[in-house]
Amino acid sequence: MNLEKRTGTARADAEPRDFWEELRLSTQSRIGLGRAGDSLPTDRVLEFRAAHAAARDAVHLPLDTDVLSQQVEALGLGSPVRVTSRAGSRAEYLRRPDLGRLPADLAGVPRSGADLGFVLGDGLSPRALMDHGAALLGALAEELSDRYSLAPPVIATEARVALGDHIAEAMGVRTLIVLIGERPGLSVADSLGIYLTHLPRPGRTDADRNCVSNIHPPEGLGYAQAAKVVAGLVSGARKLGRSGVDLKDTSRSDTLSSGEVLTLD
């Protein structure tokens, strides 16, 4: 009889099966980290420190507005206007969220009266905007430009979401789409979010907005997928007359009803 079967023990040279291996394929969460004595294994500690450093860098590294402006202008949507909030520095921006919601000067923002306006804000992850902003804006323009008029985009620095309401009022657009860097975590440091506000104006609250988050392909939501969700929200907001808690994402049900086959990346 085979020795392994008779004794019920594994061969000495066989590698132990990692119980968590398959589960790790389905999540970016830190699970099954293991143990070395009373602490974590050294490689897990180093991974954590690297992720923490990446998150800190994503928050503090300044947005390269010159490069982003070139990328945005290449999309053919017009030369982007630059706006900054009343936060005079990154340190003040992090300490004073209220200043990030107020514009320093909107004199250079042209009034277009277009259907849709786009604001690209650095938010809490300028890195996310650099990595994904132009490509996501391109996908949104491709999805929306045949149905709506688009205002020239605005790049906003030291920006919170509500800064877009002031910019939108200056532009005179009916619906505002803010692309902004999301708060970095220890799994993802370059995630971008979209905030949609119909009939934007200063004083709008989070209850008046719709959010599409976790945009960072290939691990997160893809650009084309996010654009389809936003297109559904824009259409719904115009029919409903408002955005926010009363407006639901119907992009998935619309896709299923059209006979398309959904695939999961």
What mean pLDDT is predicted for residues 57-81?
A: 94
Q: Tell me the binding residues.
A: 161, 182, 211
Spatial separation of the C-alpha atoms in residues 62 and 60, rounded to whole Å: 6
Spatial separation of the C-alpha atoms in residues 68 and 81, rounded to whole Å: 11
78: left (phi over 0), alpha (psi -120 to 50) or beta: left
**Tell me, what's the pLDDT at 20?**
78
Spatial separation of the C-alpha atoms in residues 105 and 103, rounded to whole Å: 6
CA 148 to chain centre: 23
Token pair for 237: 């907001």
Comparing 258 with 18, the larger pLDDT belongs to 18
Q: Tell me the binding residues for adenosylcob(III)alamin.
A: 161, 182, 211
pLDDT digits (tens, 9 = 90+) for 149-190: 999 999 999 999 999 999 999 999 999 999 999 999 888 999
Average pLDDT, the chain: 88
Longest dimension (CA), the chain: 87
**Tell me, what's the pLDDT at 16?**
56
Least-confidence region, from 55-64, 220-229, 239-248: 55-64
Question: In terms of Cα–Cα distance, which of 5, 60, 39, 3 is closest to 189?
Answer: 60
**CATH, domain range 60-257:** 3.40.50.11240
What mean pLDDT is predicted for residues 86-102?
A: 96
CB 116 within 8 A of CB 173: yes
| pLDDT interval class at 252 (50, 70, 90) | low
In the numeric block, the tokens 């009022």 are attached to: 169
What is the percentage of the chain residues whose pLDDT exceeds 90?
A: 69
What mean pLDDT is predicted for residues 111-130?
A: 96
**Tell me, what's the pLDDT at 255?**
47
What mean pLDDT is predicted for residues 56-68?
A: 92
